[in-house]
Each structure stands twice: as structure tokens, then as C-alpha cells.
Chain A
Amino acid sequence: MPRKPSNLVYGVDDRPPLGVALILAIQHLFFLGVGLIIPVMILRGIGAPPEQIGSVVSLSMIAAGIATIIQSLNRGPVGSGYLCAQGNDPTIIAFSIMAGKAGGLPLIFGMTALSGFAECLLSRVLHRLRTIFPAEVTGVILAMVGLTLLPYTIADFFGVKEHHGIIHGGTTAVGVVTLAVICGINVWSKGKLRFYSVLCGVAAGFASAWLSGMLTDADINRLSAAPLLAVPDLSVIGWSFSPALIVPVLVATLSSTLKSVATITMCQKINDADWKRPDMENVSRGILADGLASVIGGALGGMGQSLYAATVGLSIATGATSRIIARIMGGMFIVLAFLPKLSAVYSIMPAPVMGAALMFVIAFMIISGIQIMMSRMIDTRKTFIIAISLMFGISVDLFPALYKTVHPWLAPIFSSSLSVTTVLALLLNVIFRIGIASRATLELSPGAASSDSIFTFMDSQGGKWGARREVIQKATAALNELYEAAQAVTGRPTVVSVEACFDELNLDLAARYAGPPLEIPSAPPGQDELLADERALLRLSGFLIRRQADKVRIEEKEGSCTVHLHFEH
């Protein structure tokens, strides 16, 4: 059972009181609701009539609610068991519009279901692909997920869309009030108020929007004109397929799946104080649920679904990651699909309020990504993997026209900074693995330079292997100690040959020298002994080696001694 980190009040296995869970779920719904822009964008893009838009949005909400609940299942073959909402994702925009223009809604739904099915198949082989998802790849994808949202959040925060590219003071003021209240409560409040920081900020944002005249009577009328109860029109549902769209769909699926792998990894990390590496079996189950979400989306007449990293960011910020919240949130979203009056709140939410709230959660996503990236040693290879994929990813947003002329099949990759970063990070990781061997040797000649050689060798190998820094530090200390002890126990300058082997779970060092075996005592020598007896220093050396390594084994053969050191990684 993973150890709950100290910053969490309600961990994934905890059951918060119902009132608290309900309000936390409502906060998550704000972010889930942001995704509803995407089916609206797609349907407007293909010229669908407004009634159809309303129905598809409601059906998407039902699909998202069901999928969120399935993702939170922690028993059985499906679901990661974490609080992570499923909702509409920007990666589906490109192929959905292509499909909609070619074959209308049925083709969108059919290809969406196909995308989900492909992801389900991918989930079955994921646990074998651990080497293509090292920390630097997962971390850079996560950081980019946060950064990818910036164009929308900044534009909303400053009101530039509505005011023709100019920063609007009134809009910005509303954004600042919202962000200030959310952050202020999160940082300085005591007790349970921290849970409700987003709700309080959004309420303050609505209030300041009303006071500044941004929220108008027309908006309020729209809210009151919406019917209380409405059933979505199921006649929009139908399915068709087109082989011509298979490649763009698969490219989008791959990109979205990789983002989901990174998101589930973030969920694992924030719920485990001793997190060391992704649990790929759990990731597999989570991706199966993610794929199923799109199958359900397509089947129900909703759009493609994917994991929402923003809700994970919110759960870190509020210190509540209980899966109960996910189930309540899913249920509420399904109910909201039938209550247009309540879901109309999304449509009148002032843009700077949403922008500010998104900024708040993006902060946690970016930092989480950076923490995962830096959880392992970084060498030149990893520097390039991270920085090059980030640079090209960011270029998509900096220069929007740059990639417009790529081949239509490649368009889904270049349609977003996230896809470019994801694909590049994975490709570069595979390429840069060339030349990294899991074994390395070092010959230590007697002399003052050997200590430097040991430290340089271990540092360099640690970086190549992407090992955990604390394990490399212990191994380096033990190896240096061993080298010094070999000189002392033989009483003459002695060559020590070292072989190091690494895999994700084990670091093994074997150091061989010609001479008698070392003593590896279980207790250190006393201080008087240490000053009086030369051999006591050797015993101290052996004791330190024993304490630093997880296992020590000595092998003697024909006058040679090999000391095997094993470190759990």
C-alpha cells in the first residue's frame, strides 16, 4: 500500500465526508466543463445546426461522466483507481473535423469509437514498453500539457479575444481578483477552506464580473431561459467508418494515449510519498479505461474522451485525491447533461474567471512534470530529449502558420504543441538509447587520480542510465571505500577492476583485486581502537560498505577477491 504524502488531507483510498466530497466534485466540474468547448468547436467547424450541438454536448457529458467513474475503479482489469476526470480533449479536434466534413456526425462517432478501440489494444502491450517512458519523457509531456493550455488561459485572462488583441483592463481585473482569491486561500487559509479555494475564487470572479458589468442581464436571461430538464436528441447517433482516416486517427490516438500515460503517472506519484517509477500494470489498466472512454463516447454520440490532467492538478492543489470524488463528479456530470439550466452556467462563465482558475491548476501540472523530469540523473542525452522536444513543441504556438502546410496525415501531430513534444520526446529517447549499454567497466590504477575516476565514472553512468541520484551516491561512496580498503588490505598499490550493471530495479557493482578478502563487520570499531590499530580503519571501511550497499557478497578465487555490491534501485 503506497504511503500517503503529507500534503494530502484525503488520499486516494480515503472517504471524505459527503458534504466536503460534493463541493470538491463541483470544483472539478468547472474544469471538466471547459472541455465542452471542444465538441462545440468541432460541430461549428463542420456547420452543424445549434440543436445538434446541444444534443452532442449533452451526450458528451454523459460519456465523460461514465468514463470518469470507470477510470476510478480500483478492482478488476479496467481503471487506474485514481481521481482523474475523462473529458473531451484537443487532440481529437483535427481528425474529428476531417471526419465531420467527409461524412458528417456518423463518421465522427465511428472513427472516435475506432480510436478508443485502438487505444484499448495499445493498453495491452504498454507494460512491456517501460523503457520508452523514462522519467524525462513522462515529465516533459506533463509539463507540456500544462504549457499547451497557456494560449487559451492567457487570452481569456486578458480578454484579448473579445477586444481585438488588446489587453482589456476590466477583464484583467476580474481575472486578477479570481486568481488572487484562489491563490490566497490556498496559501494562507487554515483547515478545510483550502479545499474550496477554486469555488471561492470562481464566486469572487462572478461577483466582480457582475459588478464590472461584464456579466450582463442577457447572460442571466440566457440562464433563466434554459429549460430545467431536457433529454438529448438521440437521432444524432449513427456510425460509419472510412479507411482514408485511419492514419490520422491512429496518430491522434497515439499522441493522446501518451499524454494519458503521463497523466496516470502523475496520479501515481502524487499519491505515493515513496514513488520511484511508474507502475506500468496500473498504467495499462488506466489506458484501457481511457480507450473505453472513447469507445463509449463514439457509441453514445459524444466525442473522443481523454484523461484531464487539469483535474489532477486541482487535486494536488486542494490536497484531496480520493476516488470517491471522481465517482461523485462522474455522476453529477451525467445528471447535468439532463439539466440545461445548470449546465448553462458554463456558457455564461466569464472568460477571465475560467482563465484564472485554469492558471491555478496549470501551475501544479507544470511543477509536477518538472519534478518527474528531475527525479532522475540528467546527462547530455536527456538534456537534448527534454529541451529539443520542448522547443519544437513551443514553436507550434509561437508560429501558428509554420506547420499549416504539412501532409494531412501528419496534421494531427503538428496541430498541437503537445503532440509535437510527445512524439519528439519519444523518438529522441529511442534514438539516444543507441550506445547506452547496461554494463560498464572501469579499471582503477593505484594513485591519487582513482578517486576522481570513480566519481566521474559513476556520475556519467548514472546520467546515461537515468538512475536515481541517491542510489548512485550510495554506490559511489561504497565503491570509493572499497577501492581504499583494497589498497590497505593488500598493503601495496593494487589495481581494482570494476564492472557495473544497471537495470531499472537493480544496480550491481563487482570490484576485483588481487589480495586477501575484506572484513565486513556489522558494527563500527570504537574510537580508541580506530586511533590505536591500523586494522580498525579497515574494519570501519568494511562497515561503511556494508551500510551503504543493500547486499554485499565476497568471492575468493586463486588469490583474487571479488566484492559484489548490490543496490536496490
Chain B
Amino acid sequence: MELNTHAEGSALVVVVTGRMDAVTAQAFVDRLREELARGALRVVVDCAGLEYVSSAGLRGILTIYKELNHKGGTQAYCALREQVREVFDVSGFASIIPIHDTREAALTALA
């Protein structure tokens, strides 16, 4: 899995590529904890390149969700592929985590 981050306006955009599972989920959590420690409070996670997420990946996503909320921040996930969206839906995550079709829509929602 690859993670690339950059700023867009006042938001941090995290671009995820590859698979998020038991092997890579911790790397996601660690990286985002670093960004949160650096003061990131608006986070958009772009999932256009995210091919697959397992239960371990979902737990990593939930961990960061809670930590960012605790700091008073906001976040959104965008451009989920069909298979990943289905996993979010059936696990109930879609009703917890804000999801948008495009990065622009996610950035607008957080602005």
C-alpha cells in the first residue's frame, strides 16, 4: 500500500493506493497519527486507488476516525471503488464515516 499526502487549501489530502489489510493497516494508522500530531484537523482520504479493505483496514480507519474526532477535527473519504464501498455499507461504516463521490465534494464538505 502507498500513502501520499499533500495540502489542498486548509485540508490534508491523503491518497491511498493498493490494499488496506492486516499487513498495511498499521502503516495507515501510524502515518495519519504523525499528521495529526503535526496539527492536521481537516483530512480527506482519497480512495480512488484503494483496491481492497479488510476488517483490519476498517479497524484502522475507525481508530483514526475516533482520534481525529477527539481532537475536534473533521474528515471525509472519497472516490470509493465499488467493492470497497460495499464493504463500508455492509459493515455499517458508511453511516459513521462521511463518504463523497469525488475529492472536490469532500473538500467542499469540510470547508
Contacts and interface: CB of A to CB of B under 8 A. Distances in A.
Nearest to B96: A527
B111 interface: no
Interface residues of A, number: 22
A229 interface: no
A531 B66 contact: yes
A541 interface: yes
A527 B62 CA distance: 8
Interface string B62-82: 110010000000000000000
Given A477-B83, A530-B62, A540 B91 contact: yes
Nearest to A450: B23
Interface stretch (A111-119, A247-255, A348-356, A479-487): A479-487
B66 A484 contact: no
Contacts of B90: 524, 543-544, 547
Given A487-B22, A527-B96, A540 B66 contact: no
A118 B54 CA distance: 55
Given A451-B21, A473-B83, A547-B90, A537 B52 contact: no
A203 B52 CA distance: 54
20 contacts: A451-B22, A451-B23, A476-B52, A477-B52, A480-B54, A481-B55, A484-B21, A487-B22, A524-B90, A524-B92, A527-B92, A530-B59, A530-B62, A537-B55, A537-B56, A540-B91, A543-B90, A543-B91, A544-B55, A544-B87
Nearest to A449: B23
Interface in A527-554: 527, 530-531, 537, 540-541, 543-544, 547
Contacts of A476: 52
A477 B59 CA distance: 16
A434 interface: no
Interface of B: 19, 21-23, 52, 54-56, 58-59, 62-63, 66, 83, 87, 90-92, 96
Contact of A481 (B54, B66, B96): B54
Nearest to B19: A451
Interface string A126-165: 0000000000000000000000000000000000000000
B77 to A, nearest CB: 15
Contacts of A524: 90-92
B55 A531 contact: no
Nearest to B21: A451
Nearest to A488: B22
A544 B91 contact: yes
A447 to B, nearest CB: 9
A544 B59 CA distance: 13
A300 B22 CA distance: 72
